[in-house]
Amino acid sequence: MRTWGWTFSVAVGLTVLFAAASSAQPSATRVRHRAPPPEPVVVELFTAQGCAGCPEANARIETVAAEPGVIALTYAVDYWDYLGWTDTFARPEFAQRQRDYRRALRIRNVSTPQVVIDGRRAAPANVEALQVAIGEEASRRVFPPEIEFRETGDRVGVGSGRAPAGGAEVVAVVYTPGPQTVEIGGGDNRGQKVRHMNVVRSVRVLGPWTGRPVLYALPDPNTPDQAVAVLVQSRDDRRILTAAVLEGR
């Protein structure tokens, strides 16, 4: 359980940060966007439109995404494009993120579909196993730093807390909320209409976090309906300390 003193100190730190930013822009105010307790668990699916086993995994992630306290994100990777279909959502940095998890979690190889829970563990892409893993990871969160977004949607503050050995970084994941359907024109899924949930559009490191309150500039969305998930993530072992979502701006 959080103590009043800890919460108060975090609130003061972020208030000072937002007040300093607002002094340069008098009309700017702040608002808190946080998931209700328990702290949200981040579920990251690495998928591909050219992967025969991925449509079923996509559907399972869509089921899990509807549960409270879950931030589900879908990253399309490009290493199956040689099979005859160029993935319309894939970016090279998404495959790199998956490779980073492979090293940190000591996974033998990258594959699709692959699910990572809170940056701490890989899990089978079935609903029951995911629900168990989500429940276990939710119980691990102890005194995570506070995350607050400015009302203008252009900045985010991360409060004080215990930083992991090796430090942490604040990551902004821009995604399109809800399902997206693509008709596949080639490869193993040729002719299928494949749904994807919460499709990631970009990933950007906003800066380091060392345990003290810091204010970061958020990337601009490409379209007004896009949301951004802010993750505070360990640099070394890639575990996610906390996360929050700002809906379409």
3-state SS of 127-175 is HHHHHHHHHHHHCCCCCCCCEEEECCCCEEEECCCCCCCCCEEEEEEEE
Spatial CA neighbour of 151 closest among 225, 227, 249: 249
Please tell me the predicted confidence (pLDDT) of residue 17: 58
- Are the CB atoms for 174 and 226 separated by under 8 Å? yes
Using pLDDT thresholds of 50, 70 and 90, give the confidence band for residue 13. low
Distances 111 to 53, 58, 66, 116, 179 between C-alpha atoms, Å = 11, 14, 25, 12, 22
Please tell me the predicted confidence (pLDDT) of residue 3: 26
Using pLDDT thresholds of 50, 70 and 90, give the confidence band for residue 72. very high
Distances 54 to 4, 67, 115, 117, 138 between C-alpha atoms, Å = 45, 21, 11, 17, 26
Q: Which residues contact 4 (CB under 8 A, 6 or more apart)?
A: none
CA-based radius of gyration for the chain? 18
Q: Which percentage of the chain shows pLDDT scores above 70?
A: 84
pTM score of the predicted model: 0.85
pLDDT tens string 158-209: 999 999 999 999 999 999 999 999 999 999 999 999 999 999 999 999 999 9
Distances 211 to 34, 143, 167 between C-alpha atoms, Å = 19, 12, 8
- Are the CB atoms for 215 and 159 separated by under 8 Å? no
Q: Which residues contact 77 (CB under 8 A, 6 or more apart)?
A: 46, 47, 48, 87, 90, 94, 95, 98, 110, 112
Mean pLDDT of 70-98: 97
Residue 18 has pLDDT above 80, yes or no: no
Query: Does 187 or 101 have the greater pLDDT score?
Result: 101
Output phi, psi for 248, to 5 deg: -45, 135
Residue 123, classed as helix, strand or coil, is: strand
Beta strands 41-47 and 70-76 are: parallel
